[in-house]
């Protein structure tokens, strides 16, 4: 596997061809048809790069681009805009909004694959550089939302990863549910703060599965949570 690509394209034929070519090159490609599906999907799924059509039902590609490049957005995926609109103004606006490249339709799928490779080479740091051990034993890889304890993958969802990373980045510091909610959702809240508790519960269960007896997150009654490894294996 060489990367996760999200194809946002409302035309079935184009989407199918892109998916086919990317899969042949070893990419995991997922396709969404509507613009308004993109941000919710990226909150839950990893993507290294988004192939983004501009004219989409629900939400336009330029609006998606703008939302993705806001600080604290759902994803830091690279963006290649694909569109039949050839106006210079759209091209410039897309790049101004933070797109990494631009491809005009009609395009050859081979050209798209070549651009995808080039953009990923440019934008994706080698995993080794990016891995961060935030405390003894815990390894976090932000671009893949991967968390491992002593080499054993915890299998966290994107939201669980953001929650654990927020805590582990500052061991010992107490975070309120409010602060953790912001870390989880990048400011746009749609859920109650009880969901913090349920995500913490799931993270704890996943840690217990790979490292019985180890606790990483401590509840501070009435205040919030903090990262504090405990247990025999954690010492």
Binding site for Ca ion (CB under 5 A): 10, 53, 55
Pick between residue 53 and residue 100 the one whose CB is nearest to Ca ion: 53
Residue 175 φ/ψ, nearest 5 degrees:
-110, 135
In terms of DSSP bridges, do strands 152-153 and 146-149 run parallel, antiparallel, or are they unpaired? antiparallel
Strands 78-83 and 49-53: parallel
Nearest distance, CB of residue 106 and Ca ion, angstroms: 13
Query: Min. distance of Cβ 61 from Ca ion in angstroms?
Result: 8
Q: Which residues contact 32 (CB under 8 A, 6 or more apart)?
A: 6, 7, 8, 38, 41
Report the residue number whose CB is nearest to Ca ion: 55
E strands, 114-223, in order: 132-135, 138-141, 146-149, 152-153, 175-176, 215-220
| Closer residue to Ca ion (CB): 10 or 228 | 10
- Residue whose CB is less far from Ca ion, 99 or 180: 99
Spatial distance between the Cα atoms of 103 and 85, rounded to a whole number of angstroms: 10
Which two structure tokens, joined as six digits, stand for 108? 């050859």
Closest approach of Ca ion to the CB of residue 191, in Å: 31
CB of residue 50 to Ca ion, shortest distance in Å: 14
CA distance 119 to 159: 26
Neighbours of 23 (CB within 10 A): 12
Q: Minimum distance between the CB of residue 90 and Ca ion, rounded to whole angstroms?
A: 13
Considering the complex, state which of residue 53 and residue 160 has its C-beta at the smaller distance from Ca ion: 53
Q: By C-beta, is 55 or 95 nearer to Ca ion?
A: 55
């Amino acid at each position: 596997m060489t990367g996760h690509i999200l194809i946002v394209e409302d035309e079935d034929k184009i989407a199918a061809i892109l998916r086919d070519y990317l899969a042949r090159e070893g990419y995991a490609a997922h396709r969404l048809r509507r613009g308004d599906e993109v941000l919710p999907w990226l909150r839950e799924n990893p993507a290294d790069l988004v192939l983004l059509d501009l004219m989409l039902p629900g939400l336009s590609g330029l609006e998606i681009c703008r939302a993705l490049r806001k600080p604290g957005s759902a994803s830091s995926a690279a963006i290649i805009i694909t569109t039949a609109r050839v106006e210079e103004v759209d091209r410039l606006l897309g790049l101004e909004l933070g797109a990494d490249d631009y491809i005009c339709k009609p395009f050859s799928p081979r050209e798209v694959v070549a651009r995808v490779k080039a953009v990923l080479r440019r934008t994706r740091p080698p995993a080794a550089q990016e891995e961060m051990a935030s405390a003894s034993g815990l390894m976090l890889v932000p671009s893949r939302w991967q968390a491992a304890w002593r080499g054993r993958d915890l299998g966290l969802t994107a939201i669980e990863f953001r929650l654990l990373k927020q805590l582990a980045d500052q061991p010992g510091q107490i975070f309120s549910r409010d602060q953790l909610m912001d870390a989880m959702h990048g400011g746009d809240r749609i859920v109650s703060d009880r969901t913090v508790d349920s995500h913490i519960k799931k993270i704890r269960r996943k840690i217990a599965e790979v490292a019985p007896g180890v606790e990483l997150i401590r509840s501070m009654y009435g205040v919030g949570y903090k990262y504090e490894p405990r247990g025999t294996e954690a010492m």
